[in-house]
Amino acid sequence: MTAADLVVLDAVIHTMDPARPSATALAVRDDLVVAVGDAPDVREHLGPRTEVVDGRGLVITPGLVDSHQHPLLGLGDAGGVDAAGLGTPEQLRALLRRAAGALAPDAWVVVNGVEYGALPERPRAFLDDAVDGRPAFLWLADSHNALMSSRGLHLAGITGPIGFGDRSEVVVDDDGVPTGLLHEMSAVLHGHAAVPPPSADDITRLAADLFAEQAACGITGVHVPDHWAGTEEVLTALDEQDRLPLRLVLAPWLFPSGVEDTLDVVRALRGRGDARRWRVGAVKFFLDGTIDGGSAWLGHADCAGEGTRPLWLDVRRYRAAVRRVVDLGLPCFTHAIGDRAVTTALDTYQAVGRPAHGRHRVEHAELLADADVARFAELDVVASMQPTHMDWTLPDHRDNWSRRLGAPRCGHGWRCADVVRAGGRVALGSDWPVAHYDPRVVMAGARLRRPAAEPDRAPVGADQALTAWQALAGHTTWAAYGVGEERVAGRVREGFRADLTAFGGDPLACRAEELPDLPIALTVVGGRIAHRADS
């Protein structure tokens, strides 16, 4: 018998495998787990070149996966200023003036994470004054809306309304002059295209650093539901240089005006074959926007009279596009935040049928009607949810999200436990850069329904809290299921990928408040150590 490359002895192993829920030893060879059990079960796999890990004090789980993340999008503005936590226009103005004062007169001022409470009434004039005439681009916290200064709009060629083929818009005043607000993704991306991107070398270096930091948080894989410029080139370069410490599943996004272009991209990427550490596994759709921005598609209007329309001008075209993706053998990931959008996504999946590989997902599913709770299990659709988005939602309903919906509907937000109780699966993610990627923080949020660092804050919808096991499943077993990898990943089992996360404590036994600080001792991807705490 060929000796193992890696053997772990005397650990606590939560396999997430119902056939053998726990073990104390495992062996890895050629990227796969070849033995799971106790010391006698792995002894025959020891050899002179086997790396033996003393597992005393370690708790090992399947490798943690972030099921919704935008790494290249986040890195594109890595040099921007962070506005998180600023709740008034005055605070935002002070930040902008400090940032602009440190830059050349023609340099771009880029700001990330602007919260809705900080929005000025007249954004264009506000920005022009605050940045002293410089070009400026400000991402709102939900990444679905943005602000631009006059100089920024000019450089982007935005002088009035633009037709994007969906509900995205350059917001204009009564005279047709842009106000500085870009509403929804097509408009936001159009404006952002004017912001000078990092060089190819810089973005590759930043990506390598980001993925190394994520591996240090126990992450072994991420699902990327977008198609940011340069993604394939960066991932290919890192893969070829052996600098990609985790796996990525891409789901290129498809907008109503670019159906053919996106399908061509998907065909071309699949034609290249799977790279060692990344592959194309789905196609991403947007059915609506965000509740905070007034563009979520709701069963009835929000308290501002908005939220009554989908992003697609004709939803029948969405269904037709979903069918074409299924004909390619791929599943669809549909961004659907409002209850009406979730219903329409589920209706579409039911009408079109299941893909040949993997399964459909609904991304976010923030607001869920009672009648749709059980349909996730019935249709074999995975709910891909981000518990830490609740960090902006307050139990007293003073936040923008709650005020938009009104108190009665707030109780239908992030119904993670309801989906699970009905037999469904919830894949957990961060939506980085919208929220931090650390899965320990995400799991804590799923269990607490509030930020782990704020013990005095009441939970939002405490009855929707996940158990410790369910939160871990959301980053392992259910994450694998969400991309059709349940036969090769998500469990510590013979023949499965050797993707493992080793904690310096037990994520199933510790208090949820302790999870964010639970040490990550070891991260293993494909049998190779991607992170070691003492290295």
CA gap 51, 4 in Å, rounded: 8
- Compute the distance between CA of residue 511 and CA of residue 293 in angstroms, rounded to an integer: 35
SS (H, E, C) 318-344: HHHHHHHHHHCCCCEEEEECCHHHHHH
Could you count the other beta carbons within 10 Å of the beta carbon of residue 128?
18
Number of other CB atoms surrounding residue 410 within 10 Å: 20
Neighbours of 307 (CB within 10 A): 28
Which residue ranges make up each domain of the chain?
A: 65-71+199-522, 79-192
One-letter-per-residue 3-state SS of 22-56: EECEEEEECCEEEEEECHHHHHHHCCCCCEEEECC
Q: Which of 61, 10, 64 is nearest to 33 (CA)?
A: 61
d(CA 27, CA 389): 38
Given the candidates 3.10.310.70, 3.30.420.40, 1.10.520.10, 3.30.43.10, the CATH classification of the domain at 79-192 is 3.10.310.70
pLDDT tens over the chain, length 535 residues: 789 999 999 999 999 999 999 999 999 999 999 999 999 999 999 999 999 999 999 999 999 999 999 999 999 998 899 999 999 999 999 999 999 999 999 999 999 999 999 999 999 999 999 999 999 999 999 999 999 999 999 999 999 999 999 999 999 999 999 999 999 999 999 999 999 999 999 999 999 999 999 999 999 999 999 999 899 999 999 999 999 999 999 999 999 999 999 999 999 988 776 668 999 999 999 999 999 999 999 999 999 999 999 999 999 999 999 999 999 999 999 999 999 999 999 999 999 999 999 999 999 999 999 999 999 999 999 999 999 999 999 989 999 999 999 988 988 899 999 999 999 999 999 999 999 999 999 999 999 999 999 999 999 999 999 999 999 999 999 999 999 999 999 999 999 999 999 999 999 999 999 999 999 999 999 999 999 998 5
The pTM assigned to this predicted structure is 0.97
Domain 65-71+199-522 belongs to what topology?
A: TIM Barrel (3.20.20)
Rounded Cα distance, 112 and 64, in Å: 27
